Every structure is written in structure tokens, then in C-alpha cells.
Amino acid sequence: MRKLIGILLIGGFAFYLVTVGMGLFSAESRSELDSVGSEILATSPDLSGAANTVTAVVVQYRGFDTLGEVTVLFVSALGVGMLAMAIKDGLLKNLFDDNGGFVLQAGSLALLPFIVLVGLYITLHGHLSPGGGFPGGVIIATAVFVVILTSKTLSIPRGLINVMETLAGLGFLAIGFVGLYSPAQSFLANILPKGEFGSLLSAGFIPVIYAIVAIKVASELINIISKLTAADSDSKEAAE
Amino acid sequence: MVSPILFIVVPLAAAFLTVLVNRNAGARILALLTALTLSALAWFWFRADLSTPVSVVIAGIAPPMGIQLSMDRLSAALALLISVSGLLVILYSQSYLKSEEAQSKHYAVLLLLMAASFGILLTRDLFNLFVFYEILCISSYILVASEETKASFEASLKYLLLGSVGSLFMLVAIGLAYRVSGSLAMSDIARALGKADSSYAMLTAALFVLGMGIEAAIFPVNTWLPDAHSSAPSSISAVLSGFVIELALVVLLRISMTVFSSVNLMLPLRYMALAGILIGELAAFGQTELKRTLAYSSMGQVGLMLFALTLGTEAGRQAGMAHLVMHTGAKSVLFLIAGYFIVRTGKREIKSYSGLGRRMPLTGVLFVIAALSLVGVPPLFGFFTKFKILSAAAASGATGAWLGIAVILLGTVLEASYLFRVARTLYSDPEGENVKAVKGRMEMDVPALVAVFGFTLLVIFGSFLLPLIPSGLAL
């Protein structure tokens, strides 16, 4: 078996060298369609009102993909949740059995609001500077994770988090519907006023969507963390 | 206005909501209502005039910058097939799923699977296709593992490993395509690849076909299928064998024939199809467990459809599509009934089912009808579709067509022998411990019976639908 893997690896590398050396599989000339990138750069400020073009592409031009990615995260979280429940003892429970001690616990609690603040800042400035809902949501979830790392005493309001997760998901779809039934007649069309270019309240629905994404990402990650670290009794509770 | 986007948004919204529903009854009803809504939507589009496809752009930004979805006759017909299958399977699950399980998550994932199915069917953007393909794969992994036995975890892990590699292949293919076209819209990529170096186009096409082919269970990359389809709960086996692999196959074919039209993929795909038929049917013949037999048979049947679809003639495509519809009906019936065989006897081996046909008379008859149709016995639907495939192959003059006919006939003989073996066991005298097996009611519960009956109607009367089954694989 190991020989076979070795042969496969060497064969693959040899194939790579041969193709690169002979210039096979290369595309020298680009076609006339190369203009999409520059077209987006040219139209983005007017069309989306976002100073950050990457965000404009993620939320506006390809907002449907972002909805899909949010769903990928959602379904993965569901899967991890089901698995965590199947493994009775709380997968990572032993890792966090140690009491972190008073200093670490108090320190992590003191850090919590600041980490959340950074997460909120990154989320809400997604249309102006690098960042947005995905990293923002992860940072907010990290705040909770840091506390869990030091102690087990944090009681997470799972019910509330579930409700927030659902509302965020439905909110994303609702924004899409507003576009569909607005004069633009297109799912996820940006119909909110664009505001002043480069200011916090600009870019129409982009900050709104990023806020929703942040809520969804944060609540899903917190849910996963709490399920993975929960003791047996807690995971049964979650099943009900 | 009824927008095609509803096909994706409605099940997504329902899935988000279902997670909140704590009671099993609530989740069941929500899933059922969603599937009903989707069926009504699909019926609307199936009846609508789609001689020119209806396109919608997302966020009011037209391609190549934005994403476009398109509803054509083929998509409408497949959407109807998916939503009605989903409806019947959800109906079946009402009595099949064990009541103590947390069902809300199960239904949520099933609804996401349906949303992703509609997504890959409707989208005309290669990257958007990838996103929905990911959702489809991940929800399949979860559903396969949902019985939480050792076998199902192993099957799911195998599926996950292969599926992840497949996704990577697809992503690389999309990257290569984007490099030459500068666009992710399928029509732009088709144009750009036509002008690109032929070896470059070939590499892109090969990576894409291998990646997508994993979900479509095409021959060399279908090793995950027997484990996954046999260890999943039977309702999920029916979904996976019933429409997921078929759907992936159709989307794969559509992209091969449009986006990669500059590459001759049909000939290699045809030989892969024949290898799939041969290996699938031979392996099915050697199995002792009913669900594994059925899973291997799906492998062979996918080969059969792929062979017909790659013949390159209109008749071949029509025959392949018709066979696809037939397979959805027949394989769903077989898997759904196999689920109740397992529930009622607690065993998976065929030999433990001896005499079961007499104790579950109605179920037994439905099973035999579906098996006969799968083999291709007149006057059932399966006869017409298989006959159409054979005659299309004979008339096509394509390379390997006569070899294909020989392989299909050999496959049919094998298929007949193992399915008749099951039928004979069902109606043989019960032996040994089977005599004093479960007492009391043996027949399936009413919702399951209704669902199986629905699929059986398709198997019996499907031949009347033949003129309604579209075959145009255009963008």
C-alpha cells in the first residue's frame, strides 16, 4: 500500500514536471472576455456605493453565492451538531475539564466585551475596509470561545442563539424578497439609498446583509462550540 | 410573478425555520407543506410555455458580472420529478423515522438537499453551481450518517473524502475556465474554451467531469455509492438513488455538451458508462444484502442512462431521460420497501425475507412490479425505456453502440436473475427462525404505503408520459 502511494506520488510529480516542461495545458492568450474585472471596478462605486470593491463583489455582484456559502456553513453546523450528539461524552469535554484558575477566568470575561467590539467594528465597516460579516462573526464567536477555554461556568442561552440564527437566515432571504418585489424585480437587488460614498451609512443593504451574516456565523459557531464542549446531560438537552 | 428563484428560497427558508421547531410533528408538517408548495411550483412551470427559457438575473446585475438562473423545459420536468419524489419520501418518513429521534434536523437537511438540487439545475453560472454542489454534497454526507451506526459513519466518511476531492477538482476546473474566459457565466466559458488550446480545454473538462462525476456515480469514481446508499436510512437511499445521482448526471451531461462542447467527451463517457453497467450489475449479482444489491444496481442503471445520453442522437437523449424518470420511480419503490423489510424483520440479508411476500401481500406485489419494471418487462414503463435505449443505440451508428447493446443485454440478464432471486425468496416457504418472526401487523404503515403507491403509479403508467419528457440539453 505504501509502495503504491509512493509510486502514485512520484508519478503525479513526474506528470507535473513533464507538462510544465513541455508547456502543455497552458493558455497563452486571454480572450476578449477579460474585461469583467475592470468592468466591475468601473461600475462598483455607482452600482453598490461600497468603497470596498471586494465587499461589493461578495455581497452585491455575487450575493447569491454568499447566500449559498451561508447555507454551506449552516448545513455543516447542523452536521457537526448531529455528530456531537452521537458522540455521547462531549467530544472536547476532557480538553476543557481543567479549571483555568481565577486570573484566567476573570481575564477572559474582561476581554469578552472588547473582542465583541472588534467583531462588531469589522462587521459594520465591511463595506469600507477589509472585513465584513464572516470574519466579524468569527471574532464574536471567539470571545465566547476564550471564556469556555478558561472555565466551564459560562451558561450559553442556546434557545436565544437558535432563534437569532433562524431570524438571521430568514432576514437574508427577506432582503432578497424585498428586491424581488421592488421595482428592480430582481432577487437581492439593492434598493436602499446608497448614502455618501465612503461613510459608515452607505452602500445600501450591504452593511445590513453583513450584519445578518455576522449574526448567523457567530450564532452557528457558538452553537458548535457549546455542543462540542458540552457534557453528556447538556447534549441531551440540546436534542430536545 | 412566480420566479424560478422560489425553488431555492422556499426550501431554504423552511430549513432555517425547521431547526427552530422542537416538536417532531411540527417539523414533519413543515417539511410536508414545503414539499407540497414546491410540487405546486414545479407543476406551474411544467405547464408553462417554456419554448424560450425564462431567465432571471440576481440583484439586477446581468452576466458576466452577475449570476443568472434559467428555467427551461428540461429543468421544469426535472424540478417536478425532484419535488414530487421529495414529497413522497417526506410522506414515507412520517411513519418510517423512529419517533424518539430529533427529526427537525433531519428534515432541515433534507430540505437543504432539495434546495441545492434545484440550485444546480437552474443556475447558469459555473461558480454558483459549485456552491450549490457543495450544499448538495454536505447534506448528503449528513443524511448518510444519520442512522449513527458504525457502518453509516464509515460510509459517510468514505463519501466525504471522495466528495471533497471531487469538489477540489471542480474548483480547479472552474479556475482554469475563468483564466481563459474571465467570466463565470457558462455561455462565456463555452465560447472562450472553444478558442483556447485544445489540450487546455481537455484538462479543464476532464477535471470537471471527474469532480462532478463523483456525485453522478460515474464508473471510476463511484466506489462510495454502495456503502453510502445501503447504510443510509431507506428514505434517504430512495432520495440519493432516486434523484440525486440522476440530477448530477443530467447537469454533468448538460455542461459537457455545452460548456465543453469543444472537447469530445462523449466517447470516453460512453465507455465509462459501459464499464459502470458491467461492474455494477456483476457486483449486484454477488450481494447478499437487499439494500447493497439495490445500491449496486443503481451503479449499473446510471451507466445505462449515461450510455443513452452520450449516444449523441436525439433519440438517445430522449431514451436516456425516459429511463431516468423510470429509474426514479422504480428504485424509490424498491428502497422504500426494503426499508420496511428491515423495520419489520430487523435483518438486512435477502435470505431472512423468505415468505415475507405472503405476510405483506400488498407490499410484496408493489416490490415485484417495481423489480419487473427495472428489468424491463412489458407492459411496464421500464420495458419502453430500455427498448428505446436499445433501438436508439442500434440506430445511432455511434462508436461502441453495438458493444453497448451487448453489455446492456448482459446486464439485463444479470439484473433479472438477482431481482427474481429476491422475488422468489419473498414468496418461498418461510424457513427456520423466519417462521416465528414478528407477529402482528406486517404491512407497511399507511403514509409509507401511499408514498410507495405513488411511485408505483409512475412505474406502471409512466409510458403515457413519454411524449412529455423533454430531452434538450441546452444552456
Tens digit of each residue's pLDDT (9 = 90 or more) over B152-195: 889 999 999 999 999 999 999 998 888 888 888 888 888 888 88
Query: Is the pLDDT reported for residue B26 higher than 70?
Result: yes
Q: CA–CA distance from A142 to each of A108, A112, A157, B307 (Å)?
A: 11, 9, 16, 52
- Read off the pLDDT band of B369 (50, 70, 90): very high
Selected residue with higher pLDDT from A9 and B2? A9
Query: Is the pLDDT reported for residue B446 higher than 90?
Result: no
Q: Cell 423512529, residue?
A: B98
| Distance in Å, alpha carbon of A48 to nearest chain B alpha carbon | 10
Give the mean pLDDT of B144-159: 88
* Residues B211/B167, Cβ–Cβ less than 8 Å: yes
B200/A47 touch (CB, cutoff 8 Å), yes or no: no
| Distance in Å, alpha carbon of A27 to nearest chain B alpha carbon | 6
The residue length of chain B stands at: 475
Task: Find residues 422-461 of chain B whose CB sits inside 8 Å of chain A.
Answer: none
CA distance B271 to B404: 8
CA distance B398 to B405: 12
Of B65, B128, B141, the CB nearest to A64: B128
* Residues B150/B231, Cβ–Cβ less than 8 Å: no
* Residues in chain A closer than 8 A to B176 (CB atoms): 27
Q: Answer yes or no: is B156 within a domain.
A: no
Q: Locate A34 and state its grid cell.
A: 477579460
B71, β-bridge pairs: B54
Full domain range(s) for residue B434 = 266-475
CA distance A27 to A31: 10
* Residues in chain B closer than 8 A to A37 (CB atoms): 182
Give the mean pLDDT of B23-28: 84
- pLDDT for A232: 44
| Distance in Å, alpha carbon of B85 to nearest chain A alpha carbon | 22
Task: Find residues 168-197 of chain A whose CB sits inside 8 Å of chain B.
Answer: 169-170, 173, 176-177, 179-180, 184-190
CA distance B333 to B382: 13
Most distant CA atoms of chain B, gap in Å: 71
A168: closest chain B residue by CA: B16
* Residues in chain B closer than 8 A to A180 (CB atoms): 3, 5
A31/B145 touch (CB, cutoff 8 Å), yes or no: no
Query: Is the pLDDT reported for residue B227 higher than 70?
Result: yes
- Of B170, B312, B197, B315, which is closest to residue B252 (Cα–Cα)? B170
- Read off the pLDDT band of A110 (50, 70, 90): confident
- Read off the pLDDT band of A236 (50, 70, 90): very low
Distant-in-sequence, close-in-space partners of B113: CB < 8 Å, separation ≥ 6: B135, B136, B139, B140, B143, B239, B244
Interface test with A, best of B23, B61, B130 (most A CBs within 10 A): B61
* Residues in chain A closer than 8 A to B64 (CB atoms): 33, 36, 39
B229: which DSSP letter?
H
Distant-in-sequence, close-in-space partners of A166: CB < 8 Å, separation ≥ 6: B16, B17, B19, B20
Most distant CA atoms of chain A, gap in Å: 64
Q: Does A96 touch chain B (CB under 8 A)?
A: no
A61/B199 touch (CB, cutoff 8 Å), yes or no: no
Q: Does B17 touch chain A (CB under 8 A)?
A: yes
| ipTM for the predicted complex | 0.89
Selected residue with higher pLDDT from A77 and A87? A77
Give the mean pLDDT of B444-460: 89
What rounded mean pLDDT belongs to chain B? 88
- pLDDT for A225: 81
- Under 8 Å CB pairs connecting chains A and B tally to 157
Q: Answer yes or no: is B86 within a domain.
A: no
* Residues in chain B closer than 8 A to A64 (CB atoms): 58-59, 67, 128
Determine which of A67-76, A137-146, A183-192 has the lowest per-residue pLDDT on average.
A183-192
- pLDDT for A45: 79
Distant-in-sequence, close-in-space partners of A53: CB < 8 Å, separation ≥ 6: A40, A41, A44
| Distance in Å, alpha carbon of A104 to nearest chain B alpha carbon | 35
CA distance B75 to B83: 12
- Read off the pLDDT band of A90 (50, 70, 90): low
Q: Answer yes or no: is B40 within a domain.
A: no
B67/A180 touch (CB, cutoff 8 Å), yes or no: no
B57, β-bridge pairs: B68
| Distance in Å, alpha carbon of B147 to nearest chain A alpha carbon | 10
Query: Is the pLDDT reported for residue A152 higher than 80?
Result: no
- Read off the pLDDT band of A126 (50, 70, 90): confident
- pLDDT for A89: 58
Q: Answer yes or no: is B469 within a domain.
A: yes
Q: Answer yes or no: is B138 within a domain.
A: no
* Helix or strand run (H / E) with residue B22: none
**What is the per-residue pLDDT across B381-401, written as a single tens digit (0 to 9) for each?**
999 999 999 999 999 888 888
- pLDDT for A240: 37
| Distance in Å, alpha carbon of B245 to nearest chain A alpha carbon | 20
Query: Is the pLDDT reported for residue A171 higher than 80?
Result: yes
Angle between helices A133-150 and A102-124 (to 10 degrees): 170
Task: Find residues 11-40 of chain A whose CB sits inside 8 Å of chain B.
Answer: 24-28, 30-31, 33-37, 39-40
* Residues in chain B closer than 8 A to A83 (CB atoms): 145
Give the mean pLDDT of A110-131: 88
CA distance B446 to B252: 37
Q: What is the pTM of this model?
A: 0.91
- pLDDT for A34: 61
- Residues B53, B113, B174, CA angle at the centre, nearest 5°? 65
Give the mean pLDDT of B268-273: 92
Determine which of A201-205, A219-223, B418-422 has the lowest per-residue pLDDT on average.
A201-205
CA distance B31 to B45: 21
Q: Answer yes or no: is B123 within a domain.
A: no
* Residues A61/A40, Cβ–Cβ less than 8 Å: yes
Q: Does B99 touch chain A (CB under 8 A)?
A: no
Q: Does B100 touch chain A (CB under 8 A)?
A: no
- Read off the pLDDT band of B292 (50, 70, 90): very high
Determine which of B91-100, B210-219, B297-306, B425-434 has the lowest per-residue pLDDT on average.
B425-434
Q: Does A62 touch chain B (CB under 8 A)?
A: yes
CA distance A219 to A168: 9
Give the mean pLDDT of B208-220: 90
B125, β-bridge pairs: B185
A201: which DSSP letter?
S
DSSP string for residues in B132-189: HHHHHHHHHHHHHHTT--HHHHHHHHHHHHHHHHHHHHHHHHHHHHHHHHS--BHHHH
Of B56, B67, B102, the CB nearest to A62: B67
- pLDDT for B235: 92
**CA B382 to chain CA centroid, nearest Å:** 16
* Residues in chain A closer than 8 A to B9 (CB atoms): 173, 176-177, 187
- Read off the pLDDT band of A238 (50, 70, 90): very low
Query: Is the pLDDT reported for residue A234 higher than 50?
Result: no
Q: CA–CA distance from A82 to each of A78, B133, B161 (Å)?
A: 6, 21, 19
DSSP string for residues in B83-119: HHHHHHHHHHHHHHS-TTS-HHHHHHHHHHHHHHHHH
CA distance B13 to B207: 33
Q: Does A71 touch chain B (CB under 8 A)?
A: yes
Query: Is the pLDDT reported for residue A54 higher than 60?
Result: yes
Q: Answer yes or no: is B27 within a domain.
A: no
- Read off the pLDDT band of B338 (50, 70, 90): very high
- The number of domains in chain B is 1
Determine which of B42-51, B97-106, B228-237, B411-420 has the lowest per-residue pLDDT on average.
B97-106
- Read off the pLDDT band of A32 (50, 70, 90): low
A61/B203 touch (CB, cutoff 8 Å), yes or no: no
B138/A64 touch (CB, cutoff 8 Å), yes or no: no
CA distance A107 to A110: 5
- pLDDT for B393: 92
A31/B180 touch (CB, cutoff 8 Å), yes or no: yes
Q: Answer yes or no: is B146 within a domain.
A: no
Query: Is the pLDDT reported for residue B207 higher than 80?
Result: yes
- pLDDT for B379: 86
Contacts 24+ apart (CB under 8 A), A196-199: A197/A45, A197/A49, A197/A51, A198/A51, A198/A128
- Read off the pLDDT band of B358 (50, 70, 90): confident
- Read off the pLDDT band of A49 (50, 70, 90): confident
Q: Does A41 touch chain B (CB under 8 A)?
A: no
β-pairing, B68-71 with B54-57? antiparallel
A37/B182 touch (CB, cutoff 8 Å), yes or no: yes
Task: Find residues 105-164 of chain A whose CB sits inside 8 Å of chain B.
Answer: 162-163
Burial readout B279-304 (b: 16 or more C-beta within 10 A, e: otherwise): bbbebbbebebbbbbbbbbbbbbbbb
What rounded mean pLDDT belongs to chain A? 80
- pLDDT for A235: 42
B185, β-bridge pairs: B125
Q: Does A90 touch chain B (CB under 8 A)?
A: no
Q: Does A86 touch chain B (CB under 8 A)?
A: yes
A187/B59 touch (CB, cutoff 8 Å), yes or no: yes
* Residues A31/B180, Cβ–Cβ less than 8 Å: yes
Angle between helices B126-145 and B150-181 (to 10 degrees): 180
Q: Locate B304 and state its grid cell.
A: 445505462
